[in-house]
Amino acid sequence: MRKKWVGYAFISPWLIGFTVFVAGPFLLSIYFSFTRYDVVSPPVWVGLANYRKLFFDDPLFWKSLGITFKYALVAVPVGIAAGLGLALLLNLEIRGISVYRTIFYIPSIVPVVATSVVFVWILNPQIGLVNGLLRVFGIVGPAWLQDTTWAFWSLVFMSLWAVGGGMIIYLAGLKDVPMTLYEAAIIDGAGPLQRTWHVTLPMITPVIFFNLIMGVIGSFQYFTQAYIMTMGGPEDSTHFYALYLFNRAWRYLDMGYASAMAWILFVVVMFFTILIFRTHKRWVHYGN
C-alpha cells in the first residue's frame, strides 16, 4: 500500500496538471457551451441558443466547416501518398542514403510558425521564389495567398513540406517487413511493382492506418498556418474551422459560442475516427 502511494506521489504533478489544465476545462466547456459568456462577466444560461445559432443563423460556420472538410479530403491522402512514396525511395540501400533521409526529415522538425513565415515570402507574387522560377519559363504566376482560387491550394501545397515526419514512420514500417516474404515473391516470379503491391503495402497497412487517423485529426485542427499566412482570407477562402473558433473565443470573447463550436468539432472528429476504425478490418493487415 505504501509503495502505491509513493507512486501516486511521483506522478502527482502530472495528475494535478491534467486535472486543472485539461480535464477541468474540458468538462467546464460543456457548461459554457449552453451559456453566453465573455470571460469578464458571469456566464448566463441560454440553453441551446448557441447551437441553434450555429446551425441556422451562421453561414460562416458552415463555410469554415466545408473548407476544413475539403482540406481533410485533399491534404490527408496527398500527404500519405507523398510520405509513403518518399519512404519507398529512401528504403533503397544506396550509398549516402542516411544523408538523404536526414535532408527530407529536417523540414518536419522546423517550427510551424517559422515555416509559415518562410512560405509567405516563397509565395510572394512579386519577389517570391515560386513565381521567380515560373518567370524563368515565361509563366506569370498568380498571387498565391491573395487569390481566392489559389490560397487554399497554396496551403495544401505547403502541407507537403512536412511529410518527412510521416516518412520516418513509414520507413520504420518498411524495415519491419520480413525479407522472407520478398524472397518467396521473387521465387514465384513477382517483379518489383508486384512485390510492392502484394507484399510491401499490405504489410505496412497498420502504419498507413495510424497516419490516416492522425492526419484526419490534425486536419480538423488546422490553424497555425492559416492564422499566420492568410488570417482566413481572401474572402474567407481559407477560414478554417479552428481559425473561426479561435476568433470567436479570443477576438470577440464569445466563449460560450466558441465552446459550442469546440464540442461540435469534437463530435465530428470522433465520428470520422470511429468510422475509420469500423472500416480498418477490411484493409489493415496485421500479419496473423
Q: 68-109 pLDDT, tens per residue?
A: 999 999 999 999 999 999 999 999 888 889 999 999 999 999
Closest CA to 88 of 167, 163, 177: 167
Would the pLDDT of 4 be above 90? no
Give the model's pLDDT for residue 266.
96
Give the model's pLDDT for residue 280.
87
Q: What is the mean pLDDT of residues 148-175?
A: 93
CA atoms of 269 and 261, how far apart (whole Å): 12
C-alpha cell at 258: 466558441
Report in angstroms the alpha-carbon separations of 170 from 91, 144, 152, 177, 281: 10, 31, 27, 11, 20
Tell me which amino acid residue 242 is. A
DSSP E strands, the chain: 35-36, 44-45
Would the pLDDT of 2 be above 90? no
Q: What is the mean pLDDT of residues 14-41?
A: 93
Give the model's pLDDT for residue 5.
86
What's the gap between Cα 81 and its chain centre? 14
Beta carbons of 257 and 50 less than 8 angstroms apart: yes
Q: What is the mean pLDDT of residues 54-69?
A: 96
CA atoms of 69 and 249, how far apart (whole Å): 21
Q: What is the mean pLDDT of residues 218-246?
A: 95
Confidence of residue 285 (pLDDT cuts 50, 70, 90): confident
Q: What is the mean pLDDT of residues 2-10?
A: 85
Give the model's pLDDT for residue 288.
56
Q: What is the mean pLDDT of residues 254-263?
A: 96
Best CATH choice for the domain 51-283 from the list 1.10.10.10, 1.10.287.3510, 3.90.1150.10, 1.10.3720.10: 1.10.3720.10
Domain extent listing, the chain: 51-283
Would the pLDDT of 261 be above 60? yes
Give the model's pLDDT for residue 287.
64
Closest CA to 82 of 119, 99, 107: 107
Tell me which amino acid residue 205 is. T
By the 10 Å C-beta count (0-12 exposed, 13-18 middle, 19+ buried), 50 is classed as: buried
Mean pLDDT (the chain, rounded): 93
Confidence of residue 152 (pLDDT cuts 50, 70, 90): very high
